[in-house]
Amino acid sequence: MTENLRVQEFWRGLGLPGIIDVHTHFMPANVMDKVWSYFDAAGPLTGREWPIRYRHDEDVRVEHLRGFGVRRFTSMIYPHKPNMAVWLNQWSAEFAAHTPDCLLTSTFYPEESAAAYVAQAIESGTRVFKSHIQVGDYSPNDPLLDPVWGVLEESGAPVVIHCGSGPAPGRYTGPEPIAELLARYPGLHLIIAHMGLPEYRDFLEMAAKYAGVYLDTTMVFTDFTEEMTPFPRDQVHRLADLQDRIVFGSDFPNIPYPYVDALEGLTRFDLGEAWLRAVCHDNAARLFDVGLPDLA
């Protein structure tokens, strides 16, 4: 069976109209090339090979997602230096303009201009932001970001934030800085990327404490991730408790295994079909306010 059919069988079997994937990467070609070089070298860094599975031209990658039945996805972009976010946001806006199934994604960096361009991005229809604490190498509590969090809290726009210490730790990764951020901006809508791995426990606790905290399933529960940073078995009940706060993400195209593995990984703990429907579609549909026609 082709991979497309295996993926489609997964969501059709749940009675869903398709999948919403909150964590996919589309970015300017020269930036994507750099990301791919990073993963090519990641063997020495993380002790494992990381062959990018969907290393194709951009239009081919979009068609892959559509073939799987992914009805909405994002273009996760992230700057690693000042004066880069605006350019990324412009690129992303153009991408979303000719890719209607992409939720317009923007990003930011601690810099004087950030509050203004984030407000502008929301005004121009941004549906989701991305923040990468390890690559950006900034503290989420950098005073330059205070007005940004203020704007984001007020607007309710969700931020997918890579803030756990895996697969590679950074100066500001881990639960403490995010706990501090949430204490200051308790109304933020944060989607904790990779479920905060390897600090699953602390981030699940934050989701239990703050109604605006979500977790994405990006790479978690797969054989690849379970080998190095297994999900703590004594926390499985939390996944059930937080059924309405967990959203599917894949990290497409930068994954070292087939897309369908990410979906099949979700069945690892037998959380039931209602849980799978919530995670693969319904929670994100509610969070991003997308009504989808029944295309099944």
> Contact between 251 and Zn ion (CB under 5 A)?
yes
Pairing between β-strand 213-216 and β-strand 246-247 as defined by DSSP bridges: parallel
**By CB under 5 A, what part of segment 52-71 binds Zn ion?**
none
CB of 227 to Zn ion, least distance (A): 19
- Cβ proximity to Zn ion: between 115 and 194 the closer is 194
Q: Which residues contact 188 (CB under 8 A, 6 or more apart)?
A: 149, 152, 153, 159, 181, 182, 210, 212, 213
Burial call 77-87: b when 16+ CB within 10 Å, e when fewer: bbbeeeebbbe
CB of 72 to Zn ion, least distance (A): 16
CB of 34 to Zn ion, least distance (A): 14
> How many CB atoms neighbour CB 94 within 10 A?
11
- Cβ proximity to Zn ion: between 17 and 170 the closer is 170
- Cβ proximity to Zn ion: between 102 and 151 the closer is 102
Q: Which stretch binds Zn ion (CB under 5 A): 1-9, 234-242, 246-254, 259-267?
A: 246-254
> Contact between 111 and Zn ion (CB under 5 A)?
no
**By CB under 5 A, what part of segment 222-241 binds Zn ion?**
none
Q: How many residues bind Zn ion (CB under 5 A)?
A: 1
Q: Which stretch binds Zn ion (CB under 5 A): 56-64, 122-130, 209-217, 250-258?
A: 250-258
Rounded to whole angstroms, the Cα distance separating 201 from 86 reads 34
- Cβ proximity to Zn ion: between 250 and 283 the closer is 250
> How many CB atoms neighbour CB 115 within 10 A?
19
- Cβ proximity to Zn ion: between 52 and 119 the closer is 52
Give 109's DSSP letter: -
Reduced 3-state DSSP string for 125-164: CCCEEEEEHHHHCCCCCCHHHHHHHHHHHHHCCCEEEECC
Strands (E), 151-212: 159-162, 190-192
- Cβ proximity to Zn ion: between 21 and 251 the closer is 251
Residue 243 sits at the vertex; the CA angle it makes with 187 and 184, to the nearest 5 degrees, is 15
CB of 23 to Zn ion, least distance (A): 6
CB of 76 to Zn ion, least distance (A): 5
Q: Which stretch binds Zn ion (CB under 5 A): 53-61, 173-181, 232-240, 247-255?
A: 247-255
CB of 164 to Zn ion, least distance (A): 12
Residue 175 sits at the vertex; the CA angle it makes with 49 and 118, to the nearest 5 degrees, is 90
> How many CB atoms neighbour CB 60 within 10 A?
11
- Cβ proximity to Zn ion: between 85 and 115 the closer is 85
The candidate with the shortest Cα–Cα distance to 225, out of 254, 197, 185, 183, is: 197
Residue 47 to residues 39, 41, 50, 253, Cα–Cα distance (Å): 12, 10, 10, 21
CB of 198 to Zn ion, least distance (A): 16
- Cβ proximity to Zn ion: between 111 and 251 the closer is 251
> Contact between 216 and Zn ion (CB under 5 A)?
no
CB of 127 to Zn ion, least distance (A): 17
Q: Which residues bind Zn ion (CB under 5 A)?
A: 251
